[in-house]
Amino acid sequence: MEHGDVTKNTVISAKELSLTFQTNDGPVHALKDVSLDIHKGDFVSFIGPSGCGKTTFLRCMADLEHPTAGSITVNGVSAAEARKARAYGYVFQHAGLYPWRTIGGNISLPLEIMGYDKADQQDRIKRVLELVELEGFEKKFPWQLSGGMQQRASIARALAFDADILLMDEPFGALDEIVRDHLNEQLLHLWERTEKTIGFVTHSIPEAVYLSTKIVVMSPRPGRITDVIESTLPKDRPLDIRDSPEFLDIAHRVREGLRAGHAYD
């Protein structure tokens, strides 16, 4: 299949995508001729040094940034239409829970906005809290939860409505290593159970390799894709798979890709 072809399974398709910011120091090429297809059920990680455009790319999928050239489709329609159809849930680096709402209230926030009825809201809150293992925390306020639990609540919020795509922008970046391991494991279970398509921005190599079916290595100035690695790891991944030779092979290839992107500067 030629790249950029929209097949039935293609969920997100970017073709020759470029985004240039005009700044006082001249134009900044955040993205340059980026093409990528993401298929249904993929877990795609975007990895690269800061300034490589990985977050910008994710934000283009979410219609939070607008490409200056090229095209991007989400679920076969433009990113703007997909956003209006609430095609994706977006998880930011910070949980961003409203301090004046309980955990349940925070999860029902998008549901209220989208006009789900009260009974349905309650069902969904229960279901997603169970998915992120936060049963019984519905009535708690965000400040009563640890940072990791808050981030889980924010994932629950992104899962509460019927979006098949989950876009995550360094969701665990602010958490410590141990909590991060645990959340990574949980996220894999969640992905398996919900069969969502996930786009995941990170700058941790082990995290990218552990989670993904496809790793997109990016490099800065201009932001572009230097390598796309299809993971050969099995779908069922215990934490100690990270010591296997296969895992280390992939990690090595990612590291090589990152180094190649840096070679010229």
Please report, as ranges, the residues that interact with another protein according to CB under 8 A. 62-64, 83-84, 86, 88-90, 92-94, 96, 98-102, 109-110, 112-114, 141, 143
Nearest approach in angstroms of CB 94 to another protein is 6
Q: Edge-to-edge strand order for the sheet containing 69-74?
A: 26-39, 10-23, 69-74, 77-78
Q: Is the peptide bond before 222 cis (omega within 30 degrees of 0)?
A: yes
Nearest approach in angstroms of CB 99 to another protein is 6
Beta bridge partners of 22: 27
Please, which residue, 82 or 217, has the CB nearer to another protein?
82
What's the rounded Cα separation, in Å, for the pair 42 and 20? 28
Please, which residue, 162 or 246, has the CB nearer to another protein?
162
What's the rounded Cα separation, in Å, for the pair 154 and 159? 9
SS3 161: coil
Please, which residue, 120 or 177, has the CB nearer to another protein?
120
Please, which residue, 65 or 258, has the CB nearer to another protein?
65
Q: How many CA atoms lie within 13 A of 194 on its CB side?
A: 26
Nearest approach in angstroms of CB 141 to another protein is 4
Q: What is the CA radius of gyration of the chain?
A: 18
Nearest approach in angstroms of CB 95 to another protein is 10
